[in-house]
Every structure is written in C-alpha cells, then in structure tokens.
Amino acid sequence: MSEASGPRTLRIEGAFRLAGGRSLEGVDVAYETFGTLSPNGDNAVLVCHALSGDAHVATGPGLDGATCPGWWDSLVGPGLAIDTARYFVVCANVLGGCSGTTGPGSIDPETGNRWGLRFPLVTIEDMVDVEARLLDALGIERLLAVVGGSMGGMQALAWARRYPERTDAVIAAATTSRLGAQAIAFNEVGRSAIIADPRFAGGDYAPDAQPADGLAIARMVGHITYLSQDGMREKFGRRLRDREDHAFDFVSEFEVESYLAYQGRRFVERFDADTYLYMTKAMDYFDWQPPAGTDMPRFLVTSFTSDWLFPTAQAREIVRALLSRGAELTFAEIDSPYGHDAFLLETEQQGALIGAFLERILADRNRCAERRVS
Amino acid sequence: MSEASGPRTLRIEGAFRLAGGRSLEGVDVAYETFGTLSPNGDNAVLVCHALSGDAHVATGPGLDGATCPGWWDSLVGPGLAIDTARYFVVCANVLGGCSGTTGPGSIDPETGNRWGLRFPLVTIEDMVDVEARLLDALGIERLLAVVGGSMGGMQALAWARRYPERTDAVIAAATTSRLGAQAIAFNEVGRSAIIADPRFAGGDYAPDAQPADGLAIARMVGHITYLSQDGMREKFGRRLRDREDHAFDFVSEFEVESYLAYQGRRFVERFDADTYLYMTKAMDYFDWQPPAGTDMPRFLVTSFTSDWLFPTAQAREIVRALLSRGAELTFAEIDSPYGHDAFLLETEQQGALIGAFLERILADRNRCAERRVS
C-alpha cells in the first residue's frame, strides 16, 4: 500500500545531548510517512521542512483524520518527482518546532511548566540528530536521499556532514551554507518585534494569548524576503484595495499592505512565537563545512534566479566547497520569478530535476546491488 | 559673507491647502541657509532632505548655537560640489517632519493639543509647496537648481513638475518616480511596528514617552534596506561581538544585531514616531509624471549600483519618462557598495558629477544673460 501514515509520534527515551552542551530528557518526534518501505528498507527519502513547514509534506490524513493537502504536494505524491508509489517518504517536525516535536511549547518534565525560553537553543545539527534517531526506530539504515529547501536544505547539508554513510544523495534547494549579515539582520528584526510585544512576557505567554502583533510583524518581514521585488511588482504593483483613489488616512489601502497583514494574521493562527525565535536562531548559527571523508553522498544543489534571501551566489559557495572535496554533484540555477518561495512553487523545472536525479541515484544503487550479487 | 544662518523659522500665514483636500491654518517652516544670495538672487540652490534628514545640510550653528556637522558635509560647503562660497544654499525641514516645521507633533490651533494622527496626511507635493512659499519669502524667484536624494529626490522631481519655471535644473539622486510593492511593504512593516507598540496610543503619546520599541524596529527594517547585501557582508559578515563562540541564548551576539539595535535606539532619540508614519505614507503616495510643458529644467539623475531599495531600473524609468517629453538630461549610474545610503556616502564620484553639472547650468545661465544684455 502506498498510503499516508497520518500524524505519528515517536518517543526517544533517555538524555538527548544538544550541540550547545545541554541535554533534553526524552524527545517526542512528530512525523508522517508516505508510501511503503521496501522489504530491504532501501527506498526511503527523508524530506526536511523549512521554518514554517511541518511533517505534513503531502496530502494525507491530518490531526483530525480528515485528508488535507501537504505543503509540497507539487513534488511529493504518487507519480510525482518524489514518487510515493516507489519511495517511502518520511518527514518529521523539527526539534524546537511547534507541531508536535519537543520544543519551547512543550512541558519541561522537571518543572511541569511550559519550557518557554528555558528550552535550550537547538541547532540544525540537533534537528538532524533527531531525524537520525527516528530513522533508527523506523528501521531505515541508509536513505536513498535527504531532501529539503531553505532551512530544510540546511538540514540536508547537515546530514551530508554528520551522517555521510547514511544517505546516497543530498538534495539542497534554495539554501545556504551560512546566513549572511543581511539575513541575520532580518531574523533579528523579527525576533525584536516578538520580544517587544508586551504579551511576549519573556516567552511565558499562555498558548492562547500569543504575542500576536509581534509574531505577525516578524512574519511580514520574513514574507517580503521570500518574494522577489519583480514578483511583488507583478503581483501587487501599486494597486489599491477596494478603492479608486487614496484615502489620506493610515488604513491599509495598497493591496500589498492588506496582503501582508493577512499573511501575518494567518501565521499567528498556526505558529508559535517562541518557536519563531528558536528556528531563526538555529538558522543564524548554521555554519556548514562539507563532509571531510571520501565516502560522500551525491548532491543536487539548486537555486532560483530571483531568490535574494539565499541567492545563487550562496549556492555556488556550497558547490565550490563540495567540489574542493571532490564531491560528485549537479548544480542548477532555476529561472523563476517567485523569489525564495520558488522552492515551494516551481513544480515543473524543479520536479524534473529532482525526479531525474532520484532515478539516477536509484539506478546506480540497483546496479551496484546487482554487481554485488553476480 | 558665506556663513550658515543657523536655525530659522518662517511663518506662512493663512490657509495652506493640501493635496488631500484639507487645509492647515498657518505653517511654520524651519530652515537654514548657507552662503550668500547674490544681489540679483540668481545663485540659489535648494537642497531637499530625505526621510530622516533635516535642514542642517552642512556645518553651521545648531539649535544651541554651537557649530555642528551637517548631513551632507561631503557635498555642501565652501569649495565643494555644492559650493557655499558661490551658491546660496537653502534647506528646509519638510512639512509633516519633526524638526521645527509644522507636523503631527505641532499644536493644533483649534484644540490647543498636539495634532497626533489628526494632522492631515501630507504629500511630497505639499512639501514642495511649502518650500516654494519659503523661497517667495526669501526673495528667490528662480533657483539655479533643486537637489535631493531619496525622498529629497522625490521633492526635486515634484519641483520639476509643479514649478518648472522656477528652477534651471533638477538633481535627483537615488530616487524613484513611484515606490514599488516591495518598498511600500517595508514601509508598512515599519508603520505596523509603531502602531502595535502599546505606547503609541493611537498617536497620542507624550513627546517624552514615544513608542520607542516600535520606532526602533521600524528603523531597523529601514536600515537594512539602506545597505546592500554585499556591503553588510563586508562590514559585519558573521562576526560575533565581544566573544569567540556562540552563547546559545537570545542576547544579540552577531555584530550586525547589536549594530542594528544601536541604530534603532539612536533614531528614537532624534526622531518622532508619528512623523515616521507621515513620511513613509508621503513616499508611498508619490506617483510622479514628468513636466507637461516644453519649458523644462535640465536634469541630472543618478542611481547607485548596489541600491536595491530604489534600484537603477527605477532611475531608468524616470529617464525614459523625461526623454519621452524631450527633456535634456544627464543620467549616471554610480558604482558603489553602499546601497541606498550611497547618496549620503559617495563623495568623489557624486561630487564630481553634481559639481560639473551645476557649473554647466551656471555657465549657460550667464551666457543667456549676456546675450540678453548685448
């Protein structure tokens, strides 16, 4: 059967040591799977989600059991680039997140209270360690590929460095080996807006009384960096909303203003302010070096022409670092007007690249297996 | 004498009609002059300031009488491009501002209270009308040139459209004929941060109890848009402040974070939150068409390679619009790593261009005057 598992949770018992030096006593990992693991467990693809994503990468039952669409439905599904009729797709909510995996909104077992900012800072590498433990539990020794865009791409890169022996391939889209000063600065603006909101209360707000204004502003800033200048011009231009001429007051009147305000409000409904701090900090800290050994996965690195958050120049830095270690890789800059969001929106070109890359990885693996048999 | 006037104020009496339809009963204009007006009043250059600027364009006495530096000391002064030994330079605080000219922080004569958000929205054209009335009072019928960068450049363009007969030349640097959706979006983020600050109180905060957090966040966002991505990387990179390794907490640790926080705090000390709303709105509304008649000033339009807020493509739109009306113009894209701020920082190339342009304007004016005499 090639079905979606729906939301599941794995409990990792015992002390889970983090890069920052602290430990968590037990970690819950919320995850979903799509498709069927082959008898010898060799068809698994791990998808890593980005800042505001979650485990629900493709259509399947949600928390209430009803079927709902996934955030990467254009690429993950039966017959698609990441073909759930052939591959066993695993996607986990990241450590520090707010969709079921242990994070600042979880209960600190020592105090019985919500962690808030007492939760330890987590790194991209910590997220990857949790994913590795999940694969252990699922009986997946080696992945066909680990795939992700943006912060998901950072996790994919971290996999290559941390567990090079556990994956045949790494697909890193719209990502960077380290944030530049501008991206850190935008993250800091978002964090400042959250922390300045009086309802933030040092991170100890009640779950139903979030610092909504601060989180919405953080999302507005973020959202601008996900779109391209030309894309915004085409989408909104200077069009006014529901009126012919200027109002000469401070009510939102340009379409782009109400769109952003709407994005901010909607985000607050499904995301957590403390988690926003932890995720952006994990990205700021990420500072990746390519795998040191010679047994390295193969790489597909993609960037998008209009992505100015993690522009092609930063993808080229990844490529240069990998080539200097003799890695085998494919690099493609995809032409797109969608800015950073292109990794979520560009179906055709991205799908063709990822689909063909996975086919090649699978074919090579089968060839090697045949050779070993004969 | 070629001296700085120090801060002065002109009272414009009577109803001052605004583009939005409302009127102000009397307007105060705070301004400064540098150099000496020639006997026939033909050497005047009006400099228009940008969002956070003021009338103190060059070194001279400040409010307390002590000499202090100006914001364009690299271009305005004796022997410089805008040579105060030869030209009579006028610079006024804009309408709606917070440095002496009537704005939301002024007293509403009808109620005796601070205007706050009851102050009418002002446009770039309203600012220019105030400047024109100031020139009337100073006995300046026709300018040699009107000069400005960013929002100052918008004023310069508005002069060309509104009073084409009153200036020989227009110098518009790092500016645009209309903001795109992205620039409006960044402005809206800043406004949202101010309005969300509980101390904002609908704009009716006490002058000594500003919505400091909101205004600082607005400035942080703005500041990022004034720098270039490469410039930020060179200036800050990923350097940590006062430490070797990550702290694993939420205290600012990257240099770029503390720099931005500092810029935010410093801005709050010298700027007003309500004014920030009015200035950004005036920019959002600006939507310029070139002069309609044939008697047009000459133009110098400049842009800067790394300015992504008002990129060269937008300067080219100004140029195309002017050329379609048969305007005489010089256009230069100046190579600079300083982003939008380059118009404040690029001394040599910008100075040479502006200096030579003004020389030519002056020479042509003198030639015409000689012809008229002979």
ipTM score of complex: 0.95
pLDDT band at B1 (very low <50, low <70, confident <90, very high): very low
Q: What is the pLDDT at residue A1?
A: 41
The SS3 of residue B157 is: helix
Provide, as residue numbers in chain A, all residues whose Cβ is less than 8 Å from the Cβ of B201: none
3-state SS record for chain A: CCCECCCEEEEEEEEEECCCCCEEEEEEEEEEEECCCCCCCCCEEEEECCCCCCCCCCCEECCCCCEECCCCCCCEECCCCEECCCCEEEEECCCCCCCCCCCCCCECCCCCCECHHHCCCCCHHHHHHHHHHHHHHHCCCCEEEEEEECHHHHHHHHHHHHCHHHEEEEEEECCCCECCHHHHHHHHHHHHHHHHCHHHHHHCCCCCCCCHHHHHHHHHHHHHHHCCHHHHHHHCCCCECCCCCCCCCCCCCEHHHHHHHHHHHHHHHHCCHHHHHHHHHHHHHCECCCCCCCCCCEEEEEEECCCCCCCHHHHHHHHHHHHHCCCCEEEEEECCCCHHHHHHHCCHHHHHHHHHHHHHHHHHHHHHHHHHHC
Q: Does B224 contact A182 at a Cβ distance shorter than 8 Å?
A: yes
- DSSP structural state of residue B340: G
- How many Å apart are CA B172 and CA B160, to the nearest integer? 10
How, if at all, do strands A88-92 and A82-83 pair?
A: unpaired
Provide, as residue numbers in chain B, all residues whose Cβ is less than 8 Å from the Cβ of A283: none
Considering only the beta carbons, identify the residue of B121, B184, B232 that sits closest to A185.
B232
- Mean pLDDT, all residues of chain B: 96
Partners of B167 in the β-ladder: B143
Residue in chain A lying closest to B123 (CA) = A248
Rg (CA), chain A: 21
Residue pairs between chains A and B whose CB atoms are closer than 8 Å: 150
Provide, as residue numbers in chain A, all residues whose Cβ is less than 8 Å from the Cβ of B120: 248
Indicate the class that CATH gives domain A182-282: mainly alpha
- How many Å apart are CA B56 and CA B91, to the nearest integer? 7
Q: Does B181 contact A233 at a Cβ distance shorter than 8 Å?
A: yes
Provide, as residue numbers in chain B, all residues whose Cβ is less than 8 Å from the Cβ of A20: 246, 248
Determine the distance in angstroms separating the CA of A41 from the nearest CA of chain B, rounded to an integer. 37
Residues of A with a catalytic annotation lie at 150, 307, 340
Residue in chain B lying closest to A221 (CA) = B189
CA angle A257, A260, A263 (to 5 degrees): 150
Residue B228 has pLDDT above 50, yes or no: yes
Catalytic-residue membership of B223: no
Catalytic-residue membership of B208: no
Sign of CA dihedral B349, B355, B361, B367: negative
Q: Which residue has the higher pLDDT, B222 or B246?
A: B222
Residue in chain A lying closest to B211 (CA) = A196
Q: How many CB atoms lie within 10 A of CB A309?
A: 25
Q: How many percent of chain B have pLDDT more than 90?
A: 91
Q: Does B181 contact A256 at a Cβ distance shorter than 8 Å?
A: yes
The SS3 of residue B84 is: coil
How many residues does the structure list for chain B? Answer: 374
Provide, as residue numbers in chain A, all residues whose Cβ is less than 8 Å from the Cβ of B309: none
Considering only the beta carbons, identify the residue of B20, B117, B238 that sits closest to A287.
B238
Averaged pLDDT for residues B292-303: 93
Averaged pLDDT for residues B121-137: 98
Q: What is the pLDDT at residue B374?
A: 63
Provide, as residue numbers in chain A, all residues whose Cβ is less than 8 Å from the Cβ of B226: none
Which one of the listed residues B49, B56, B223, B340 is annotated catalytic?
Answer: B340
Provide, as residue numbers in chain B, all residues whose Cβ is less than 8 Å from the Cβ of A184: 238, 254, 256-257
Distance between terminal CA atoms of chain B?
Answer: 31
How many residues does the structure list for chain A? Answer: 374
Superfamily grouping for domain B8-178+296-373? Alpha/Beta hydrolase fold, catalytic domain (3.40.50.1820)
CATH topology (fold) of A8-178+288-373: Rossmann fold (3.40.50)
A44 touches A135 (CB < 8 A) = yes
The SS3 of residue B76 is: strand
Q: How many CB atoms lie within 10 A of CB B51?
A: 19
Q: Which two tokens stand for residue B118?
A: 């009851």
Point out the residues of chain A with pLDDT beneath 50: 1
Domain ranges of chain A: 8-178+288-373, 182-282
Which one of the listed residues B168, B307, B336, B341 is annotated catalytic?
Answer: B307
Q: What is the pLDDT at residue A243?
A: 83
Considering only the beta carbons, identify the residue of B198, B229, B249 that sits closest to A121.
B249
Averaged pLDDT for residues B299-324: 98
A260 touches A224 (CB < 8 A) = yes
Query: Testing the interface with A: which of B254, B259, B306, B307 to mutate, by most A Cβ within 10 A?
Result: B254
pLDDT in tens, B108-126: 999 999 999 999 999 999 9
Q: What is the pLDDT at residue A250?
A: 85
- How many Å apart are CA B268 and CA B215, to the nearest integer? 6
Q: What is the pLDDT at residue B294?
A: 82
- How many Å apart are CA B363 and CA B360, to the nearest integer? 5
* Fold agreement between B8-178+296-373 and B182-282: no
Residue in chain A lying closest to B188 (CA) = A257
pLDDT band at B371 (very low <50, low <70, confident <90, very high): confident
Backbone angles phi, psi at A300, to 5 degrees: -120, 115
Q: Does B232 contact A182 at a Cβ distance shorter than 8 Å?
A: yes
Q: Does A181 contact B236 at a Cβ distance shorter than 8 Å?
A: yes
Determine the distance in angstroms separating the CA of B184 from the nearest CA of chain A, rounded to an integer. 8
Residue B100 has pLDDT above 80, yes or no: yes
